[in-house]
Amino acid sequence: MDNPAGYEDFGRRVTYPSGAWELSAYLLLPEGDGPFPALMFNHGSGGLVPEVISGLRELARLGYAVLSPMRRGHNGNPGPFWRDLVTGEPDDDETMYHAVGRQLVSTLQAESDDVLAAAEWLARQPEIDGDRIGLVGQSFGTIMTIFCVGRTNSFRAGICFAGAALTWPDVPQIQTALLAAIDACETPLFIIQAENDSNLEPTYALGRQLARGGKPHETRIYPPTGSGWGEGHAFFRREPERWSRDIELFLARWF
C-alpha cells in the first residue's frame, strides 16, 4: 500500500491490533542490518502530521527504528476521536473545566491502550530488538508516554517534548493524573521544552516529582525556537539538530 501524500518518507505502512480495532502505523527503519533498538513516536492531539518527519528521520539517523502508531479515531483509524468524547457538560457541583478534565483523562488513558498494543506488535517484528524499545512523545503524545510508563516498566526510556503545555494551566485533572503516573514510573525520562512554549510549568512540576521520588530523569529547557509559542511548542520538528546530541547521549545510557 502506497503512503498518502505527505507521508512518503514515514516508512512502511503497517497495521497493529488494539482491542477490536486494526489501527494504522508507520515503521521507519534506519540504515544497516537489524534487529534494531526502537522508539515509538506518540503523536499530538491532531494526529500524526507530515511536519514531524524531520524529527522522526533524526531519530532513525541515530540508529533507531521508529514506529509511529496512529491511535483510535486519528488519521482515519476506527474508534472515537477524543474531541467527540470530551463534551465538557458539567453537573451541578462541577465547573466546566472539571468536567472536561475528567473526560479528557479518561479518554487519553483509553488511548494509551493503543500505544501499549502497538508496543506488543513492534516487539514481535523480526527487524526489532524487542527488549530495547522506548517512547518519544510530543504534546498529547507526551501525556501518552507518561501514562504508559506509569502502567508498565517494559520500556527502556521515555522522551517527552512539550508535554501538557496547553492543558496544564486549566485542567488540574491532567496534572493529578500525570503526577500519579510519575509516582508509579521506574522508566528513565527526559523532559524537554523550548523556552517559548506556551507554559513551562509541566517540565518544572514533573521534574520536581521525579526528583522527589529519586527517579532517573533529565529535564531541559532549550532557548526559544521561532517567534511565538506555537513554534516553541513544535520544537521536536522545528530544530532536531538542537536536541539530537542530547537525546543520543540519554538513550545510549539506557539502551
- Which residue in 176, 234, 236 sits closest to 205, CA to CA? 176
Q: Compute the Cα dihedral for 3, 157, 189, 18 and give only its sign.
A: positive
Q: Give 84-111 pLDDT, tens digit per residue.
A: 998 865 444 444 456 678 899 999 999 9
| pLDDT surpassing 90 at residue 38 | yes
Instruction: Let me know if residue 1 belongs to a domain.
Output: no
DSSP 184-221: H--S-EEEEEETTSS--HHHHHHHHHHHHTT--EEEEE
CA distances from 238 to 26, 95, 141 (A): 21, 37, 17
Which of the four pLDDT bands, split at 50, 70 and 90, describes residue 170? Answer: confident
Number of domains in the chain: 1
Residue 112 has phi, psi (to 5 degrees) of: -65, -20
Question: Is residue 3 assigned to a domain?
Answer: no
Residue 159 maps to which CATH number? 3.40.50.1820
161 within some domain: yes
Measured CA to CA, the distance from residue 43 to residue 49 in angstroms comes to 8
Give the helix ranges, DSSP H, for 7-95. Answer: 53-61, 82-85
In a domain, 118, yes or no: yes
Q: What is the pLDDT of residue 101?
A: 86
Residue 187 domain flag: yes
**pLDDT, position 96:** 45
pTM of the predicted structure, to 2 decimals: 0.95
Please give the residue range of the domain that contains residue 23.
12-254
Has residue 18 got a pLDDT over 70?
Answer: yes
Displacement of CA 47 from its chain's centroid (Å): 11
Mean pLDDT of the chain: 95
Q: Is the pLDDT of residue 200 over 70?
A: yes
Residue 189 lies in a domain: yes
Residue 1 has pLDDT above 70, yes or no: no
**What's the pLDDT score for residue 196?**
98
5 lies in a domain?
no
Residue 152: CB atoms within 10 Å: 13
Classify residue 7: in a domain, yes or no. Answer: no
Q: Are 198 and 225 in contact (CB under 8 A)?
A: no
Distances (CA, A) of 145 to 32, 42, 91, 112, 160: 28, 7, 31, 8, 7
